[in-house]
Chain A
Amino acid sequence: MMQPDDTQLIKRILGGDIQGYSVLVNRHKDLAFTIACRILNNREDAEEAVQDAFVKAYRGLPGFRQDSRFSTWLFRIVYNASISKRRLQKAGIQYVDDLNTHPESYMTTDQEDTEERGLWVEKAMQKLPEVDRVLITLFYINESNVEEIHRITGLTRSNIKVKLFRARKKLQELTGMMAEKICI
């Protein structure tokens, strides 16, 4: 059976089918969580930010004009919530950078080879600035174009292009390093 798309689900939710929102949450939660983690570097904080963002998005659904994709709109809320939280942390609240200290806790499967690759991706990501990590996540995982990234992050298009170029270059270099290590 075909799953309803986001627009159909939003119509259903606005019509009173609250449970329809769980489908939207399941559909977008991982990428939203990844974006938040890339900024906050902390699983608990990221989950909290994403949960707040989902509730905020639900409250704002009647005002969602659908001139962009739901995911773009949601990720913008997630991005802003995470940036705000990050600012609070930087203002003096102590936090544990658990992505740096325990990257293995973010493995997606238990298989050893995957584990190694997953660990490497985490390590490589940590070598990038926070915003660049988000750009890479959106560019590669969500396959967002520059315009969409601009809508989500609010960065200028030229800035996005420059940052993406540098981040991709850096990741390419790190990929090469990893390939060499694996060969040896």
Chain B
Amino acid sequence: MGMENITEKLFENEDDLKKLIQKEGLLTTSPDFTRRVMMAVDAYEKKSVIAYKPLLSRKTWFFLITSLILLLLCCMWAISGGNTEKTAYSEAVRYLFDAINDLNFSLHFNAGGLLIATIVIASIGALLCLDILLTHKYREVSV
């Protein structure tokens, strides 16, 4: 007797078995199952509605960027030796740097100190921009 015949004989009542399992083998969920799934889906939908809320307003951004540019320009001007001609403006800038130097006792008002200050300010600016960009990209605010 070949393998096929054995299989045929073995499963000759398979239709009955199939019908029985199809009829009795299917289990049913509790009556409120679909409602619970849809509640979970709704909750997911609400959560996934993304609204981006800028950390800084336009005004603050303008003020921040202008200040940074001004500071950088001042630093560059001071590093390059500055204008020997004393004006009210240059005195004000020098006064500003003196004030900074007073705060930072280890730094003297020289080109090296200003270079470090420039790098620090530029780095903080770059980090701030990076932070804003990343926050904008990943921050989710549920509405």
Q: Which A positions have Cβ atoms within 8 angstroms of B?
A: 18-19, 21-22, 25-26, 29-31, 33-34, 37, 47, 50-51, 54-55, 58-59, 106, 108, 114, 117-118, 120-121, 125, 136-137, 140-141, 165, 168-169, 171-172, 175
Rounded to whole Å, the gap between the CB of B57 and the closest CB of chain A is 33
Cβ 8 A contact of B26, one of A25, A30, A165: A30
Q: Is the CB of A137 within 8 A of B14?
A: no
| In contact, B33 and A51 (Cβ under 8 angstroms) | yes
Judge if B137 is at the interface, Cβ distance under 8 Å. no
* Bound CA span A166–B94, Å: 92
**Residue contacts A-B, CB under 8 angstroms, 19 given:** A18-B41, A25-B34, A29-B29, A34-B26, A51-B33, A51-B40, A54-B41, A58-B41, A117-B20, A121-B24, A137-B25, A140-B18, A140-B22, A141-B21, A168-B11, A168-B14, A169-B10, A172-B10, A175-B16
A55-B44, A58-B41, A121-B21 as given contacts; A30 in contact with B28, CB under 8 Å = yes
- State how many angstroms separate the Cβ of A130 from the closest Cβ of chain B: 15
Closest to A171 in B: B17
* Complex alpha-carbon distance, A36 and B42, angstroms: 23
CB contacts (< 8 Å) of A37 on chain B: these are 27
Complex interface bits, B15-51 against A, C-beta within 8 A gives 1, otherwise 0: 0111011111111111001101110111011000000
B33-78 contacts to A, CB under 8 A, are 33-34, 36-38, 40-42, 44-45
* Complex contacts, A140 vs chain B, CB 8 Å: 17-18, 21-22, 25
Main SS at interface, chain A: helix
Contact yes or no, A33 B28, CB < 8 A: yes
- CB atoms of A29 and B34 under 8 A apart: yes
Which residues of A have CB within 8 Å of B16?
Answer: 175
Name the interface residues of B94-111: CB closer than 8 Å to any CB of A: none
Among candidates B7, B34, B44, residue contacting A58 with C-beta atoms closer than 8 Å: B44
Interface of chain B residues 76 through 123 with chain A (CB within 8 A): none
Interchain CA distance A22-B36 in the complex, whole Å:
10
B142 within 8 A of A: no
A33 to B22 alpha-carbon distance, docked (Å):
14
Which residues of the partner chain A approach B26 to less than 8 Å between Cβ atoms? Answer: 30-31, 34, 108, 141
Contacting residues, chain A, for B24 (C-beta < 8 A): 108, 114, 117-118, 120-121
Bound Cα distance from A125 to B21, whole angstroms: 10
Q: Residues of B contacting A31 with CB < 8 Å? A: 26
